[in-house]
């Protein structure tokens, strides 16, 4: 089993690597086209700004590489958002794997603080990523932009309004939350991904 983590200018990729270490998985951190195309699993992590990250991916030719991957791909946080059609963050076109635009949270009251940060429930979970994790578990979120509920929604979370906390289409999987920071539940989700 060979896992490739997409290397780009985003931050905090080390927490994904630590989580894989704890699961005993082997991985490479790379932006090499051949390594990514030949990996059994690809993880597209993300902490950063959408427009800047997209132009970095385009410069490296990684946008095309990611779109054409045929093995299971997991986008995390910004990774999920960049797999959508566009983002209001920096008003950029994204990879377009999921044909849905990413929007900024519009809080309507002081109670609704942005970023959405902390532990929240994932509901209506579907797909093998979520097998054996129990009903509506809590996972860890940090984000100011969200993916609306759409035909590819694989989990829903309510904050300000219901949004897609996970997406799935063909070999592409994505989570808005950070499984690598979500305790045992997050570890189980990552482990499910590695078993796909």
**Interface pick for other proteins out of 38, 40, 90, 158 (rule CB under 8 A):** 158
Beta strands in 77-170 (DSSP E): 84-87, 92-93, 98-104, 116-121, 138-143, 145-146, 153-159, 161-169
Q: Which of residues 63 and 89 has its CB atom nearest to other proteins in the complex? A: 89
Residue 20's H or E segment, with its range, is helix 14-22
Separation CA 174–CA 163 (nearest Å):
13
88-127 mask for other proteins (x: CB under 8 A)? ----------------------x--x-xxxxxxx------
Smallest separation, CB 108 to other proteins (Å): 13
Smallest separation, CB 132 to other proteins (Å): 13
**Interface pick for other proteins out of 5, 16, 19, 97 (rule CB under 8 A):** 19
Does the annotation mark 124 as catalytic?
Answer: no
Separation CA 189–CA 182 (nearest Å):
9
Separation CA 90–CA 87 (nearest Å):
7
User: Which of 24, 79, 25, 89 has its CA nearest to residue 57?
Assistant: 79
> Could you say whether residue 78 binds other proteins (CB under 8 A)?
no
- Is residue 36 a contact partner of residue 42, using CB atoms and an 8 Å limit? yes
Does the annotation mark 180 as catalytic?
Answer: yes
> Could you say whether residue 132 binds other proteins (CB under 8 A)?
no
Q: Which of residues 70 and 108 has its CB atom nearest to other proteins in the complex? A: 108
Does the annotation mark 77 as catalytic?
Answer: yes
Which residues are identified as catalytic?
77, 178, 180
């Amino acid at each position: 089993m060979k896992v490739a983590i997409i290397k780009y200018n985003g931050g905090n990729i080390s927490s994904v690597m630590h989580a894989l270490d704890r699961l005993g998985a082997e991985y490479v951190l790379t932006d090499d086209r051949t390594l990514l195309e030949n990996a059994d699993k690809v993880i597209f992590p993300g902490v950063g700004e959408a427009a800047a990250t997209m132009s970095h991916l385009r410069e490296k030719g990684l946008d095309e590489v990611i779109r054409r991957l045929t093995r299971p791909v997991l986008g995390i946080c910004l990774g999920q958002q960049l797999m959508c059609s566009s983002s209001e963050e920096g008003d950029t076109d994204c990879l377009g794997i999921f044909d849905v635009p990413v929007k900024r949270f519009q809080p309507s009251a002081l109670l609704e603080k942005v970023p959405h940060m902390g532990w929240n429930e994932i509901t209506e979970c579907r797909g093998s990523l979520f097998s054996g994790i129990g009903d509506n578990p809590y996972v860890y979120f940090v984000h100011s932009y969200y993916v609306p509920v759409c035909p590819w929604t694989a989990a829903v979370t309510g904050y300000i309004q219901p949004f897609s906390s996970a997406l799935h289409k063909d070999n592409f999987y994505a989570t808005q939350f950070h499984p690598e920071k979500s305790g045992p539940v997050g570890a189980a989700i990552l482990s499910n991904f590695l078993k796909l």
